[in-house]
Amino acid sequence: MPSRDTAQGAFIKSSFGTVWPVHLAGFTRLLVQLRKRFDGDLDLVLVLAVIGSRTLPERWVPALDELTQMTRLDDTETRQLPINIQSVAEYSGIPRETVRRKVVTLQEKGWVARGADGCLTVTRGAACDLEAATGDTIASLASLLLAFEAAKVAGADEE
C-alpha cells in the first residue's frame, strides 16, 4: 500500500478534494449495506474480514470465474494461513470473548470453519452468501476509480 510519502500519496493529497467526497459517500454506503447484510453487526463484518485477510493474495485463485473459487480449501498448497481467535482479537482490538462469540455466529452461518487446532478459515459458503455484499464493494471501488480517473484528467489539464 502506498504511503503518503510516495508519488501516489502526493497525487492523492493533491486530488483530495475530488477523491475524498466520493470515497466518503461510497464507504458510507458500503458500511450501511454491510450492516444490513450482517444483521446490524459491524463487528461481525470486521471479524470475518480479519479472518479473510489471512489469505495471502498470491495464494488466491488467479482468475475468479465465480465467487466460490476465491479460496481452494481442498488444496493444501493453497490453504489460508492459520489465524485463531486470540490473533483476531489482538489484530482487531475487539475483546477476545466478543471475537469468540462472533466466530460462533459466523460458524452457525456457515461462513467460517474452525479446525481441530483452533485455526479459522473463511468458507466457500461465505462467498456465495455474501455475493451481494461483494457487489456493494465493487460498486464502491468503481466510484472511487472514476474519481481517481477524473482527478488524473484534471491534473493533466493543469499541466
Domain ranges, ordered by start, for the chain:
7-158
pLDDT of residue 8: 84
Please state the pTM of the whole predicted model.
0.77
Residue found under cell 483452533: 118
Counting residues of the chain whose pLDDT is more than 70, the rounded percentage is 78
For the segment 119-137, the average pLDDT, to the nearest whole number, is 89
- Residue 156 φ then ψ, to 5°: -70, -35
Fold of 7-158: Arc Repressor Mutant, subunit A (1.10.10)
Per-residue pLDDT at 7:
85
Q: Residue 50's closest CA among 108, 3, 7, 90?
A: 90
Mean pLDDT (the chain) is 83
Range 148-154 average pLDDT: 86
Question: Is 121 in a helix, a strand, or coil?
Answer: strand
